[in-house]
Amino acid sequence: MKLLITGGAGFLGARLARTLLARGHLNGREITHMVLTDIAPPPPDLLSDTRVSARTGPLLVHTDALREEPFDGVFHLASAVSGECEADFDLGLRSNVDSTRALLDALRANVNAGGQAARVVFSSSVAVFGPDPAVPLPAIVADDTLPAPQTSYGMHKLVCEHLVADYTRKGYIDGRAARLMTVTVRPGRPNGAASSFFSGIIREPLAGAVSMCPVSDDVSHPVSSPTRTVDGLITVYEASREAFVGRTALNLPALNVRVADMLDALGQVAGIKVRERVRFARDERIAGIVANWPGGASALRASKLGLKPHANFAEIIRQYIDDCAAAPNADQTLKGMS
């Protein structure tokens, strides 16, 4: 089978690609070719795999060519992140909404030419939920909570959920949207996402650096590890149409934690000196965005597919440490624990 992963050079896309290549199959079919698109080239280890090819540049640049290239399956992860979308309205629309519609139309063109509808997993976000005067935000958002996004990023994700559902209704794709929780702990440097600090307050202290937390320690939020997120995307892909139930998006499993819980777990796993590298300096812009996000989430439909969250945040930290220990630059990544 031939797969397309948009955002395939990013942290989550690359991890998904590695997982699928190691498996060698998806939904009972051998993976023979994988195309990774992103604004940057994929990591060298992925490019060295003879099954992988790359298309570098904005997704909109490649969608015309994709009309001539049928795919069996697509994981659509490419997206401008929350902070970027708030700072540049046009960038967000172009990168998220325009690119998604162009991709869906490329897949539609293949069906109209007599091809088979590709199975598509769209990575939506818990950011589709937010408080509205007419729709109060519950303490825990469920699969059937009415979305009321309060950021451009959340609105883009919701629009694309509905596009995926409608293209599925018309038979142009076999689409399913999965709402990702905030993924932590992400390696590397902070990005433009307002949620970046959820990784930074763990990653930087473990590396020996001070991390500034822009919100108070009583902020609660649903999070998930990279491994559970990738497992969720694959499970959603492999689910039958009947098991997925309908065309509306589902929540992936969440561990609902406060910042204080995360820091307690950091101290438990790595020691009090590492924990003390986190300082608090409120950033009104970030705090304002986070205040409009859910404090927790449930995932009944995902649980029926066999997906579960971690039991506690210490498990997530230990998974990150294990990942770092296996990486080539492990000495630098975890030097703060020595």
Q: Compute the distance between CA of residue 81 and CA of residue 298 in angstroms, rounded to an integer.
A: 23
Q: Compute the distance between CA of residue 13 and CA of residue 240 in angstroms, rounded to an integer.
A: 23
Of the candidates 153, 167, 237, 320, the residue annotated as catalytic is 153
- Cβ-proximal residues to 115 (8 Å cutoff; 6+ apart), any chain: 70
Buried-state track 230-241, b at ≥16 Cβ within 10 A, e below 16? bbbbbbbbbbee
Q: Compute the distance between CA of residue 104 and CA of residue 71 in angstroms, rounded to an integer.
A: 12
Compute CA distances 149 → 79, 127, 131, whole Å: 16, 6, 8
Catalytic residue status for 153: yes
Compute CA distances 106 → 100, 237, 249, 265, whole Å: 10, 20, 22, 46
Neighbours of 205 (CB within 10 A): 24
- Cβ-proximal residues to 327 (8 Å cutoff; 6+ apart), any chain: 187, 333
Active site amino acids: 153
